[in-house]
Amino acid sequence: MKKALLSLLISILSFSAFAGDAPAVGTAAPSFNLQDQNGDWHNLEDYRGQWLAVYFYPRDDTPGCTTEACNFRDNIYAFKAIGAAVVGISVDDVESHKEFSDKYKLSFTILADSDHVTANAYGVLRDYKLIKIASRQSFLIDPEGKIAKHYDNVDPDKHTDQVLADIKAFMAGSANSG
């Protein structure tokens, strides 16, 4: 019931302003040091030398967030095959991430940004006064740690395929502009 109410609240309040601006394409990706669903620490430097898809999402176990996470899960071997990694981030805590990850058998890292620092640094934090959430946006980070692409209008049903195609295009030297 609590998650359903929260999902409804998120939908109703989706017009709220962002806490800050997203980093520009071509600039260094903001650093992070966050715990995953198992309590292990991850930072941006862990992914240096490979393509990294960082997707922010509002809440664990809500409809759009579940769709997006399961699509990344179902395509994770395609990402690994080209040497790319996927990381999901929300402001939920480690325990919530663990439950979400176990329930949907997520085979990739989801990070807990419960202090909101990373979501704020990426310009995706939305403050609704009563709650703070990360908006559904993603960043493609190149092997040198720079923002290669920012997705600010994410469709949970199609996003995974779009990110995978864009990584392949960047690797081939001709990135999509969509």
Give the catalytic positions in this structure: 65
Which position has the token pair 């998120």?
A: 10
The SS3 assignment for 38 reads: coil
- 10 phi/psi in degrees, rounded to 5: -60, -45
The span from the first CA to the last CA of the chain, in angstroms, equals: 37
Distance CA 165, CA 176 (A): 8
How far CA 98 is from CA of 43, 55, 106, 111, 137, in Å, comes to 19, 17, 10, 10, 22
Alpha-carbon distances of 29 from 1, 140, 145, 147, 148, rounded to whole Å: 37, 9, 6, 5, 9
